[in-house]
Amino acid sequence: MTIDFRDGKVALQSGEMFVIPKGVEHRPFADRECKIMLVEKAGTLNTGDVQSGLTAKDGVWV
């Protein structure tokens, strides 16, 4: 899995962890399917500052 940032990118391998600071724009992607664990504060919108049909309702587990 790779996470792109405006000023670079971070490549992650199995078992590694990376903390993205609050408010930093990023774009995660992977060439193949991978499983990740995402930890964020309750109430954090999955679409950032954008409200759309892709925005998950607060408190709903996917």
All structural domains of the chain with their residue ranges: 1-62
Query: CB neighbours (10 Å) of residue 3?
Result: 17
* DSSP string for 5-51: ETTEEEE--TT---PPPTT---EEE-SS---------TT--TTTT--
- Check: pTM over 0.75? Answer yes or no: no
For each of the chain's 62 residues, which pLDDT tens digit applies?
A: 999 999 999 999 999 999 998 889 999 999 999 999 888 777 777 777 788 888 877 766 65
Q: Residue 31 is which amino acid?
A: D
pLDDT of residue 17: 94
pLDDT of residue 62: 59
> Distance (Å, rounded) from C-alpha 32 to C-alpha 40?
24
